[in-house]
Amino acid sequence: MEIFLEEKKSKNLKTEAVVFGIFEDSDFSKKENFPNFKKEAERAKFKGNLGESFFYSEKLFEPKKQVLFVGLGKKKDYGSQQARNSAALAVRKLQERNILSAEFWLHPEEAKDKKIEIISAITEGLILTNTKYQRFITDKEKISKGIEEFFICVKKEDKDFEKGLKIGEILSEAVLFARDLITSPSNEITPQYLAEEALSLSKAYGFKAKIMDEKECEKMGMGAFLAVAKGSQNKPRFIHLSYKAKGAKKTIGFVGKGLTFDSGGISLKPAEGMGAMKSDMSGAAAVLGAMKALGELKPKVNIEMVIAACENMPSGSAMRPGAIIKSMSGKTIEVQNTDAEGRLTLADALTYIQKQNVDEVIDLATLTGACMIALGTDIAGIMGNDNDFVDYLLKISQKSGDALWQLPLESNYIRFIKSPIADVCNISRVRWGGAITAGLFLKFFVENKIKWAHIDIAGPAYRDDDLNENHRAEGAGFGVRLLAKYALENS
Ligand code: BES
Ligand code: ZN
Ligand code: ZN
């Protein structure tokens, strides 16, 4: 899809449809140009709420075009999330009618302030809804092209509109890149594949790259990471990218869980739904996606990005339940369930990144089914050792669209992950509060002086339903925009 900013409206544009955003609290009787608006809106039960839309019954303008009205909700609530979702809804509705080109007349109040943010969000809503993962569909007739041209009609004299479009395009490309990695199957996306993607990013944007193989990881003492990797023929890769900016005042660490497939290992998962575990590298995809966006946007802040990429497989060489392993930190871990593998790989990744002079660390991981049970498919859980840091990320998430909810790192629950014969156990003795005990396990490997936030994205990372406006049966690219925006705010 190509998006253009355009001052001319309708008459001079060769589009098939015009989209209007309507606020819930706008005066419907004043739609002089649409004599039947009130009647038709009533029939469609359209009140201008977010999520509502209807096509006007007749074509209007010259040349004749279809007219789509989309609800924007209340003026006072309008922000990037509303902009993103209403644009996404417009794309779905236009696609239902196989419309290939459209123009969007921005309501004058829609982009009144926060122009960059609003135009960026609209761009994201358009591109991300219009793009579908179709790489493995060989029947050309079944491949949908989506909308080809979209004109956003605004007064162009304001450079902020251009800027918003550019940022929106960069963020969307980065999210699509992450989605692609997540949705692509694990027979293609191996640890080595992720390493090669990281290398391509380093070439494209001048990042420093370090890829470590099994031997090098062994030298570093990464016993926890390697124990998980042991069962697979596809060898592990420890991936480290650095972005250094002139005049940067801070260094942020990004850590992504990079299980390119999680079968559970010897503690094998049930067959049903196991295929979705190709998405257990969604944290890795998010940090790579964020690096791609930041390579383009070049914020004035240093970033260290780390992924401990491997596969969790059962085999004669796989780690056994009951094993006691030694992590890079020197701490020992009793492994009572080989399916709680993410925290083992992250323990070493966290130890490694804390040696890179970072001021703060954010890890993203599809860590627990428990978090998915607690918060559902649209919201990720966030925990951390510094409340101001967590609050700041919560604030950013409201703009980026990656919904977060804080869970407490209740220190009383540490008793559940104690091991009688090692420093810590990789699972809890009780069923309850699994997202929190996983967070506490990670905290065990984090030094107090470093601000740390852990985001459990098990729910929103990947979905096989078709409900949300912004994505469908594929990887979501959750977290890419959150991390990119966080880095930009620290610029
Ligand atoms: N990758 C899974 C968590 C997961 C589950 C992500 C569902 C996305 C959707 C993780 O490695 C895992 O298996 N966790 C176990 C931990 C348990 C054994 C303590 C879980 O949540 O069941
Ligand atoms: Zn697992
Ligand atoms: Zn896992």
Task: Determine contact, residues 308/398, Cβ cutoff 8 Å.
Answer: no
Pocket test for ligand 1, best of 279, 339, 442 (most atoms within 8 A of CB): 339
Cα of 342 from ligand 1 centre, angstroms: 8
Tell me, yes or no, if 343 is annotated catalytic.
yes
Tell me, yes or no, if 65 is annotated catalytic.
no
CATH of domain 2-157: 3.40.220.10
Is the minimum distance from the CB of 369 to ligand 1 under 6 angstroms? Answer: yes
Q: Which ligand 1 atom sits closest to the C-alpha of 337?
A: 18
State residue 474's pLDDT score.
Answer: 87
Q: State the 10-residue block means of pLDDT for the chain, 491 residues long.
A: 85 89 86 87 95 95 93 94 95 95 84 87 96 92 92 84 96 98 98 98 98 98 98 98 97 99 98 95 98 98 99 98 98 98 99 98 98 96 98 96 97 98 98 98 97 98 67 84 98 93
Cα of 265 from ligand 3 centre, angstroms: 10
Cα four-point dihedral sign 475, 478, 483, 485: positive
185-489: CATH topology: Aminopeptidase (3.40.630)
What the block records as the tokens of 14 is 């060769």
State residue 328's pLDDT score.
Answer: 98
Cα of 188 from ligand 2 centre, angstroms: 20
Is the minimum distance from the CB of 342 to ligand 1 under 6 angstroms? Answer: yes
Is the minimum distance from the CB of 366 to ligand 1 under 6 angstroms? Answer: yes
Cα of 440 from ligand 3 centre, angstroms: 17
Domain ranges for the chain: 2-157, 185-489
Pocket test for ligand 1, best of 182, 186, 335, 367 (most atoms within 8 A of CB): 367
Q: Is the preceding omega at residue 63 within 30 degrees of 0, hence cis?
A: yes
Confidence (pTM): 0.97
Is the minimum distance from the CB of 456 to ligand 1 under 6 angstroms? Answer: no
Residue environment code for 140-168, b if the CB has 16+ CB neighbours within 10 A, otherwise e: eeeeeebbebbbbbbeeeeebbeebbbbb
